[in-house]
Amino acid sequence: MELTRRETMLGALVTGVAASMPAQAKVPLSDKPAPGYYRYRVGEIEITAVNDGVSAMPITDDFVRNVSKAEVNKTLESLFMAPNVYAGPYNPILINTGRQLALVDTGTGEAGFTSSNGINGRLMLSLAAAGVDPKDIDVVIISHYHGDHINGLIKADGSLAFPNAEIAAPLDEHRFWMDDNEMSRAATPRIDATFKNARRVMTPDVLKRIRPYEAGKEVIAGVTAVSTPGHTPGHMSLVVASGSKSVYVQGDVTHAPWLFARNPGWHFMLDVDPVAAEATRRKVYDMLVAERMAVQGFHYPFPALGHVERTSTGYREVLVQWSPVL
């Protein structure tokens, strides 16, 4: 290959530039992560995923009740994830219909933020990054009464985190967890703790703002509730629809899809009724596959939007590519 005139210039010029390299970069290393929000449109409705962080839950022997810890760890290894820990993302979403701004689920709350692992309880940071003041939220829609969905309703001092919002809660879910007779029959310490946590969060101020909602009806205009019981007795999903577009907001129909959508027969320790949860999961995912419908999953990897394909053993999430524009 013949040297060009331009190339001949290179040797002479490079030394001078390289010699001027600084001993320290002008931009210091940062401790600041990227903001945890992501915005997209469903027809005329705007959805913003607002990340609350990621769990660091130890994988116990009963993490999946019908599968060994060794098999869970083997799966995590195949996914290039650390063993013995469940890094499950928490992704509440904002739904702005133009007329109302709704927050779906509230994350692990201020208490989560100060927990030892320190990587959850970040919803308020993500809301601020997205330019949303908690006072501006008109309605909080709760999918179910597990702590990572309701704890963020109150601040560390017990006051309302979203002081101007009504709180739309599934009627059957509220009935179950607030029923003292049901609590007295709690099958496991974990379920008993969920009853007690619901009483901690459902302060008089919270209860005053609760509006129960039911399946088959709109919670707010454009957002319809769908009954998806099993994970908890009154667990609800939502269909957000505008024009010809829609997205299925699944709540905890599956926990992290890389485990529980790919293995729909795995019974997660937090499923109150694992058999009903599996039946719901298969029904919803069969529908998502048949309809090629987009799904927004609370425990999907941020920004937590995808589709679902069928595999020989279950389903696989196909995440939507990040778009640089709405």
Q: What does residue 290 show for φ and ψ, rounded to 5 degrees?
A: -65, -40
Task: Identify the DSSP state of 116.
Answer: S
Residue number with CB closer to its own copies (1 or 216): 1
Count of CB atoms situated within 10 Å of the CB of 5: 6
The distance of closest approach from Cβ of residue 220 to its own copies in the complex, given in angstroms and rounded to an integer, is 8
186 Cα distance to chain centroid: 26
> Would you say how long the chain is, in residues?
326
Residue number with CB closer to its own copies (53 or 147): 53
Residue number with CB closer to its own copies (61 or 179): 179
**Strand, helix or coil for residue 91:** coil
* Contacts for 286 with CB less than 8 Å, ≥ 6 apart: none
With beta carbons less than 8 A apart as the criterion, state whether 217 and 238 touch: no
In whole angstroms, give the CA distance from residue 180 to residue 171: 16
Give me the half-sphere count of Cα atoms (radius 13 Å) on the Cβ side of residue 211. 12
Residue number with CB closer to its own copies (174 or 231): 174
The distance of closest approach from Cβ of residue 37 to its own copies in the complex, given in angstroms and rounded to an integer, is 5
Residue number with CB closer to its own copies (173 or 252): 173
Residue type for position 28: P
The distance of closest approach from Cβ of residue 96 to its own copies in the complex, given in angstroms and rounded to an integer, is 6
Residue number with CB closer to its own copies (62 or 239): 239
The distance of closest approach from Cβ of residue 165 to its own copies in the complex, given in angstroms and rounded to an integer, is 9
The distance of closest approach from Cβ of residue 251 to its own copies in the complex, given in angstroms and rounded to an integer, is 19
Residue number with CB closer to its own copies (62 or 246): 246
Residue for token digits 């702005």?
A: 96
The distance of closest approach from Cβ of residue 2 to its own copies in the complex, given in angstroms and rounded to an integer, is 6
The distance of closest approach from Cβ of residue 287 to its own copies in the complex, given in angstroms and rounded to an integer, is 15
Sequential DSSP letters for 236-275: EEEEEEETTEEEEE-TTSSSSHHHHTTSTT--BTT-SSHH
The distance of closest approach from Cβ of residue 250 to its own copies in the complex, given in angstroms and rounded to an integer, is 16
Handedness of CA 252, 258, 261, 264 (dihedral sign): negative
Residue number with CB closer to its own copies (166 or 252): 166
Q: What does residue 238 show for φ and ψ, rounded to 5 degrees?
A: -135, 145
With beta carbons less than 8 A apart as the criterion, state whether 236 and 172 touch: no
With beta carbons less than 8 A apart as the criterion, state whether 155 and 110 touch: yes
